[in-house]
Homo-oligomer: A and B are copies of this chain.
């Protein structure tokens, strides 16, 4: 009846891209696991999202860049709220290991 899953398990191997997987979807929000293995956003690419995103870096490390020039280095346990339409990109994720993120998307439309 109660299903337990693990954020660090069941990660597809041999996939060159970042992996986005839905954990839970309700009418008002969606929880997603993201696994990065050294990827960054493509050059010139900016996320400009219609929804708010609360994000937690669970393992690994990463650097976010915001379009006001601010850079934020993230270590395990770091979390932040990214307002909708705040342009940002992933400058780097840790090479040679898995960076696992938990993202909650909400407040669309």
Contacts and interface: CB of A to CB of B under 8 A. Distances in A.
A83 B59 CA distance: 28
Q: Is the interface of A mostly helix, strand, loop or mixed?
A: strand
A19 to B, nearest CB: 15
B79 A2 contact: no
Interface stretch (A34-42, A89-97, A99-107): A99-107
A3 interface: yes
A56 B2 contact: no
Interface string A57-92: 010000000101010101111111110001000000
A79 B29 contact: no
B72 A23 contact: no
